[in-house]
Structure 1
Amino acid sequence: MRSGRIARSEVESAPCLMDFALLHPDPDAPDWLRPVPPSAALAQRLHPLEREIQERRRHSVELTECFKPFMDISAQGPPTTHAITVLEGVPRINAALDLATAECRTEVLTVQPGGGRDEDSLSRSLERGLSVVHRGVRIRTLYQHTARHSQSTLAYAERIADDNVEIRTLEELIERLIVFDRKVAFIPAQDDRQVALELRHPGLVEYLAKVFEQLWTRAAPLLEEVKYEPTPEGISGVQRSIAQLLVEGHVDDSIARRLGMNVRTCRAHVAKLSAALGSSSRAQLGYLIARSGILESDS
């Protein structure tokens, strides 16, 4: 700037000078560049930003005016709490869960069916869980027995371990459920979990909390061995659960989903069950299950 010009070759190591329009071509010498006053270059770059800021301010004023009639109506009475809110899309579901987590003060109840969970889900759960545990909030979580064989689930349990955290497992669970402070609950509305329901009706939330408590009393602590009642013919507890679902008319896919295992594992158990009872077909297997009395020990 002091000399009044600079060779183009010398500017290659400082491209920001051109990017900021601090230099422009010398009209008398194509191999040289002349400096632009910094105040002029700065004004040129600030002008579109200031224009955008003014436009956004205008937009915010318009929005405020549009919402004013609704604000006036809501101010006339107590705020309305929606008993059921439909949450569409994972981002909106996660935002609602994050808000409920931030507002939680006493207790979180969760039901997580389907065996071991993926790393991303466990990572989000760990982040939310630690945030409430550090505030002294109690967490109780129910998994299915198949989660006991998931290293990622066991690692999650170890990382979140605290006096206020309890994890138990059960053979079969209801669909996913999360309850915060017995005031708000979340349940899936579709199998793909892209839509969820946020429930705030006291009666609905209390009912779901009671369902959780009934499951909780039957569940076994994660780090304790699961004890099954002895069954005849050397049939395991898992196979007895499968037998019950077979008698009820469920197919392999449905049984696997309800017991939190993959279909291949389910079919392997069905094969062992058939061998133990001497069955040669699915139709005969149902008859032999009923005749064997293996389901009577559940009563």
Structure 2
Amino acid sequence: MSALTAYADAMPDLLVDLRDRYQVARSPDDAVQHLVGRRLINERIAAEHSAARTEITAAQPGSRKPEDLAHSLERDRAGLRRGLVMRTIYHASVRRVSAVGSWASDMAALGGEIRTIQGRFPRSIIFDRRVAFVPVYTAEGEGSPEEAVMVTDPLVVARLAHVFDLFWERADLWLGARTNLPEQGLTTNPTQRAVLRELCLGRNQKRAAKNVGISAAWLNNQLRELRVKLGVETLNEVIYWWAGSPDHDVHD
């Protein structure tokens, strides 16, 4: 009984060890690979970055250290110079972080596109819509920086790319030559226009937020920013302005 008890107590650690050994020994051609350790994760990301030929999309909800930004800058510059489309989403809070601002300015000068979004969104890096890297989430919903999943299954990657596109459409413009052109002369951003269209259809703010796919708090923040920009105090004044504005005729 003592021996069996000791064996049972050791089983969880044994299974974890077996899992890690299995992940290391798996074929690199597996459609879903569990990567453990920052070094291995960064090696795989660097290899796919070099192999990318059309597009790299990245959703970065957390903060990035200055040394991480500096490390990736030359690699990102090289990708833009060889003609890659590079689109990045950050949380809106990074607009106040000088290191991220410097990185974004350098990227935008070479043709990269950067948007920001309020609220939560999932982290991902997708290369050519062919391979994706996503975090391994804990039971608490947090992603560990020491673990990632590399996905090459076409159906799963397509789904991850679709999720990125949905958040991209709802994100606010920050920097990037591509995104500046359609916004010239406009007062609103795409999210604000979507909200105003919903309100003009008779939806209340709670329903409008749900239809646009944002939180009620984010909707209130967008409307508050617009009131400040227009120099008005009420939503009715915003709606009155919207009805006769050039922004009303933009279809996006």
Larger radius of gyration between Structure 1 and Structure 2: 1
Structure 2 residue matching 1:159: 3-state secondary structure: helix
Q: Does the 8 A contact of 2:108 with 2:114 survive in 1?
A: no
Q: Secondary structure at the match of 1:161?
A: helix
- Name the amino acid aligned to 1:110: A
- By how many angstroms is 1:148 displaced? 1.1
Match of 1:192 in 2: 144
The residue type equivalent to 1:144 in the other structure is H
- Give the Å deviation of 1:150: 1.1
Gaps of 5+ in 2: 1-26, 138-142, 181-186, 197-203, 206-213, 221-252
Q: Secondary structure at the match of 1:174?
A: coil
1:175 matched to which residue of 2? 122
Q: 2:104 aligns with which of 157, 169, 173?
A: 157
Which stretches in structure 1 are left out of the alignment for 5+ residues? 1-78, 244-299
Pairing of 1:246-265 with structure 2 (within 5 A): none
Does residue 210 of structure 1 match 2:162?
yes
Q: Work out the CA distance in 2 between the residues paired with 1:83 and 1:226.
A: 42
How far residue 172 of structure 1 moved from its aligned partner, in angstroms, is 2.2
Superposition deviation, residue 134 in structure 1: 1.5
2:71 alignment partner, SS class: helix
SS in 2 for 1:194: strand
Moved over 2 A (4+): 161-164, 172-175, 223-232
- Tell me the equivalent position of 1:135: 82
- Taking a change above 3 Å as real, the CA distance of residues 144 and 97 of structure 1, as seen in their structure-2 partners, is same
| Aligned pair partner of 1:87 in 35, 41, 58 | 35
Q: For residues 10-46 of structure 1, give each alpha carbon's deviation from its aligned partner in whole angstroms, at most 9, with x where no partner exists.
A: xxxxxxxxxxxxxxxxxxxxxxxxxxxxxxxxxxxxx
Matched residue SS, 2:145: coil
Q: Whole-Å Cα distance in 2 between the matches of residues 80 and 140 of structure 1?
A: 27
Whole-Å separation in 2 of the counterparts to 1:88 and 1:179: 19
Residue 149 of structure 1: how far off its partner (Å): 1.1
**RMSD, aligned CA:** 2.9
RCO higher in structure (CA 8 A, sep ≥6):
2
SS at structure 2 position matched to 1:178:
strand
SS at match of 1:92: helix
* Alignment-derived partner of residue 56 in structure 2: 108
Shift of 1:161: 2.2
Rounded to whole Å, the distance in 2 between the matches of 1:123 and 1:188 is 22
| 1:111–1:173 Cα contact (<8 Å) kept | no
**Cα offset, 1:200, TM superposition:** 0.1
Q: Matches of 1:158 and 1:213 in 2, distance apart? A: 22
Identity %: 31
CA distance in structure 2 between the aligned counterparts of 1:146 and 1:89, rounded to whole angstroms: 28
Q: Would you say the 8 A contact 2:114–2:174 is kept in 1?
A: yes
* Whole-Å separation in 1 of the counterparts to 2:81 and 2:28: 31
Deviation digits for residues 37-83 of structure 1 (CA, Å, limit 9, x no counterpart): xxxxxxxxxxxxxxxxxxxxxxxxxxxxxxxxxxxxxxxxxx98311
Does the CA contact (< 8 Å) of 1:220 and 1:226 recur in 2? Answer: no
Where do 1:246-285 residues align within 5 Å?
A: none
1:240 corresponds to 2:217: yes
| CA contact 1:144–1:171 (8 Å) conserved in 2 | yes
Q: Contact (CA 8 Å) 1:137, 1:164: kept in 2 or not?
A: no
Give 1 or 2: higher helix fraction: 2
What is the TM-score with the length of structure 1 in the denominator?
0.48
